[in-house]
C-alpha cells in the first residue's frame, strides 16, 4: 500500500504545542480533503525543543488523538534543529551537524519518540542533515562523523530489538552539502562501510527538488541506488525552480532572506554551482551566460510553469512512477509563504491538499 503524507515543516513552531496546534488547524483539514474515510499518515517535523517537551502524558494524549482522528505517525523530519520560519535560517539549518554530540543526542531522542508515538506502523523514518554544509568540512572530520552515526544506528538497533519497531535514519542529500549528488552519496556509503548488522537502520531521504537541481536523471539515479543496495527510506516530493534562456534573469524575484536557495547553472562547459541567488546574480552581472539554471526553492508541485520561469515538475513525472509502492512519499513545500504574492492565492490547507491530490492522480494514471 502506498503511503502519502505532507511534511509539517510547512507550519511554523518549535514547541510540541505548536505541532498539535498545526495538526488541528491544518492537518485535519488536509485529511478531510484527501483521505476522509481512510487512515492518514503524518509527517511531523519535531524540533529539538518539542522533542524535549514530550513526556509520558503528552505521548499518551497524542496516541489517543491519532486513534480519534484515524491518523498515525509515518515519518519524522529531524533535519532543522531549531527555528525554521520567520527568521533568517540560510546555512544555519545544517547546524548542529553530524560532527556534534548535539546532533547525536537529538536524533537518538527522536528515535525514542518514534517508537513511543507509533500506533499503526512498524517502520518509521527520521530524515536528517546531509552530514554538514560542504564549506568548512574537512577530510579529517570523517572519523568523527562515522563514530557519531554509529552511535545513532546502535541506538536504533536497540530500539528495534526492544520494541519491534524499525526506525531508520534517512540522510537527505542537498545542494552545497557534503552529500549533494548521488555520486557523493554512493561514495559516502562505501566510505562508511557500516557493519552489516546496522545497515538496515540507515538509508536516504530522496528529495526530488534537490536532485533535480543537480541536473540528475530520475531513472539513472534510481538504478544506481538500487545497484548499490542503498535504501530509500522516504521520498520527499518537491519541485524546484527551472529557468531557461532569458528566464534566468527572472529568478531574482525569488531571492528572499530566510532560506538558502542554492543554484546550479548549465552551459557548454558544464555545471556551475552557487550557494545562493545573490552569488548567481554576481556571475550574471559579470557577463557569464547559461542555457539553464535550477534553484533550490520548493514551489508547489502542481505547477509546471510559474509565468516568470518553469519548475522541475517533469522530474516528479519521471521519478515517482518508477518507485516501489512500499516507499513512503512526503510532499514537502515548506516555502509557500515565501513565494511571490500571486502564487499564494489559496488557503494553505487547500494548497497542501492539491499537492497530495496531484501525486495521487499522477500515480493512478501510471498504474
Say which DSSP state 24 is in.
I
Is the pTM here over 0.95, yes or no?
yes
Question: 336 pLDDT exceeds 90?
Answer: no
Q: What is the strand order of the sheet 232-237 is part of?
A: 4-6, 329-331, 232-237, 202-207, 166-171, 123-128, 71-77, 40-45
Q: For the beta carbon of residue 360, count every other beta carbon within 10 angstroms.
A: 15
pLDDT at 204: 98
Measured in whole angstroms, how far is the alpha carbon of residue 65 from the centre of its chain? 25
Question: 338 pLDDT exceeds 80?
Answer: no
User: Which residues share a beta bridge with 271?
Assistant: 266
pLDDT in tens, 248-295: 999 999 999 989 999 999 999 999 999 999 999 999 999 999 999 999
Question: 341 pLDDT exceeds 80?
Answer: no
Residue 125: strand, helix, or coil: strand
More confident residue, 346 or 187: 187
pLDDT at 334: 77
Using only C-alpha atoms, what is the Rg of the chain? 20
Contact status, residue 301 vs residue 332, Cβ threshold 8 Å: no
Span of 84-98, 294-308, 321-335, 336-350 with lowest mean pLDDT: 336-350
- 28: pLDDT confidence band, cut at 50, 70 and 90? very high
Question: 180 pLDDT exceeds 90?
Answer: yes
Question: 1 pLDDT exceeds 80?
Answer: no
The domains of the chain, with CATH numbers, are 4-243+303-365 (3.20.20.150)
Span of 11-20, 140-149, 286-295, 345-354 with lowest mean pLDDT: 345-354
Say which DSSP state 228 is in.
T
Q: How far apart are CA 180 and CA 27, in angstroms?
A: 31
Which ranges of 70-196 does DSSP label H, i.e. alpha helix? 101-117, 142-163, 182-192
Nearest to 335 by CA among 348, 354, 319: 348
Q: Which three cell numbers stand for residue 292?
A: 539553464
Contact status, residue 7 vs residue 332, Cβ threshold 8 Å: yes
pLDDT in tens, 342-351: 777 778 899 9
Span of 10-14, 150-154, 231-235 with lowest mean pLDDT: 10-14
- 84: pLDDT confidence band, cut at 50, 70 and 90? confident
Q: How far apart are CA 45 and CA 50, in angstroms?
A: 9
* Share of residues in the chain with pLDDT > 90 (%): 90
Q: How far apart are CA 273 and CA 275, in angstroms?
A: 7
DSSP per-residue codes, 306-348: -SSSEESHHHHHHHGGGS-TTS-EEE--TTGGGS-GGG--S-H
- 335: pLDDT confidence band, cut at 50, 70 and 90? confident
The average confidence (pLDDT) of the chain is 95
- 62: pLDDT confidence band, cut at 50, 70 and 90? very high
pLDDT at 135: 96
Q: How far apart are CA 279 and CA 327, in angstroms?
A: 36
Question: 40 pLDDT exceeds 80?
Answer: yes
What's the number of CA atoms in the CB half-sphere (13 Å) around residue 46? Answer: 26
For residues 306-311, average pLDDT: 92
For residues 69-73, average pLDDT: 98
Amino acid at each position: 500500500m502506498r503511503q502519502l503524507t505532507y511534511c509539517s515543516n510547512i507550519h511554523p513552531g518549535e514547541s510540541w504545542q505548536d505541532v498539535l496546534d498545526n495538526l488541528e488547524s491544518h492537518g485535519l483539514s488536509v485529511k478531510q480533503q484527501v483521505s476522509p474515510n481512510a487512515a492518514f499518515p503524518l509527517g511531523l517535523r519535531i524540533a529539538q525543543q518539542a522533542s524535549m517537551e514530550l513526556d509520558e502524558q503528552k505521548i499518551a494524549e497524542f496516541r489517543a488523538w491519532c486513534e480519534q482522528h484515524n491518523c498515525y505517525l509515518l515519518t519524522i523530519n529531524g533535519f532543522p534543529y531549531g527555528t525554521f520560519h520567520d527568521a533568517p535560517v540560510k546555512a544555519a539549518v545544517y547546524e548542529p551537524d553530524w560532527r556534534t554530540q548535539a546532533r547525536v543526542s537529538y536524533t537518538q531522542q527522536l528515535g525514542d519518540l518514534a517508537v513511543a508515538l507509533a500506533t499503526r506502523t512498524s517502520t518509521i523514518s527520521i530524515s536528517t542533515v546531509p552530514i554538514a554544509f560542504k564549506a568548512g568540512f574537512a577530510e579529517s572530520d570523517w572519523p568523527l562523523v562515522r563514530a557519531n552515526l554509529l552511535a545513532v544506528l546502535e541506538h536504533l538497533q536497540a530500539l528495534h530489538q526492544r520494541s519491534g519497531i524499525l526506525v531508520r535514519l534517512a540522510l537527505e542529500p542537498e545542494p552545497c552539502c557534503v552529500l549533494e549528488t548521488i555520486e557523493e552519496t554512493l561514495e559516502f556509503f562505501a566510505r562508511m562501510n557500516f557493519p552489516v548488522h546496522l545497515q538496515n537502520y540507515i538509508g536516504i531521504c530522496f528529495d526530488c527538488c534537490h536532485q533535480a537541481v543537480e541536473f540528475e536523471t530520475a531513472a539513472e539515479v534510481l538504478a544506481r541506488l538500487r545497484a548499490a543496495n542503498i535504501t530509500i527510506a522516504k521520498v520527499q516530493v518537491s519541485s524546484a525552480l527551472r529557468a531557461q534562456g532569458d528566464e534566468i534573469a527572472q529568478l531574482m524575484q525569488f531571492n528572499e532572506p530566510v532560506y538558502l536557495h542554492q543554484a546550479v547553472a548549465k552551459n557548454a562547459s558544464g555545471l556551475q554551482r552557487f550557494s545562493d541567488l545573490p552569488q548567481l546574480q554576481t556571475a550574471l552581472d559579470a557577463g557569464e551566460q547559461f542555457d539553464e539554471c535550477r534553484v533550490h526553492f520548493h514551489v508547489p508541485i502542481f505547477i509546471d510553469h510559474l509565468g516568470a520561469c518553469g519548475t522541475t515538475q517533469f522530474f516528479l513525472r519521471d521519478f515517482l512512477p518508477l518507485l516501489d509502492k512500499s516507499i513512503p512519499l512526503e510532499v514537502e513545500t515548506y516555502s509557500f509563504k515565501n513565494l511571490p504574492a500571486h502564487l499564494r492565492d489559496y488557503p494553505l490547507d487547500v494548497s497542501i491538499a492539491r499537492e497530495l491530490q496531484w501525486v495521487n492522480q499522477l500515480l493512478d494514471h501510471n498504474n
